Amino acid sequence: MAVRETAALSAIRDRGRRVRGFWQRITGGFELEQLWEQFLSEARASYGLFSHDVDWDEIDREPSRWKRPFRISWALFQAMLMKLTPARRILLLLAIVVVLIPADVHIGGGLTRVSVSWFGAVLLFLILTLELADRVTMKRDLEIAREIQQWLVPAKPPDVPGIDIAFATRPQNTVAGDCYDAFLRPLNAAGREPLVIAVADVAGKSVPAALLMATFQASLRALAGTSATLEENVSGLDRYARAHNLEGRRFTTAFIAEIDPHSVAMRYVNAGHNAPILMRASHAAERLESGGPPLGLPLFRGAEPQYDCGSIQLGQGDLLFVFTDGVIDAVNEDGDEFGETRLLGLLRDLPQGTAADMRDCIMKELNSFVGEARQQDDITCLLLSVAATRT
Q: Computed over its alpha carbons, how large is the radius of gyration of the chain?
A: 28
pTM for this entry: 0.71
Domain end position, chosen among 99, 132, 152: 152
Domain match, 259 and 140 both: no
Question: CATH number of the domain that 256 lies in?
Answer: 3.60.40.10
Task: Summarize pLDDT for 95-104 with one digit per residue, the tens.
Answer: 888 888 776 6
Look at residue 2 in the predicted model and tell me its pLDDT: 60
What is the pLDDT at residue 198?
94
- The total of structural domains in the chain comes to 3
pLDDT in tens, 109-142: 555 566 777 788 888 899 999 888 888 887 777 6
Examine the pLDDT at 371 and tell me if it is beyond 90.
no
| Residue 353 DSSP label | S
Express each pLDDT in 309-338 by its tens digit: 999 999 999 999 999 999 999 998 888 999
Asked whether 326 and 377 are in contact (CB, 8 A), the reply is yes
Residue 370: give the domain boundaries: 157-386
Give the CA distances from residue 331 to residues 203, 372, 373, in Å, rounded to whole numbers and listed in that order: 19, 10, 7
C-alpha distances in Å from residue 278, one per residue of 19, 158, 288, 348: 55, 21, 7, 11
- Burial profile 98-110: b = 16 or more Cβ within 10 angstroms, e = fewer: bbeeeeeeeeeee
Q: Is residue 297 part of a domain?
A: yes
Residues 238 and 144 reside in one and the same domain: no
Range name among 10-19, 260-269, 289-298 with the lowest pLDDT average = 10-19
Q: Are 273 and 254 in contact (CB under 8 A)?
A: yes
Write out the H or E segment, with its range, that includes residue 184.
Answer: strand 178-184
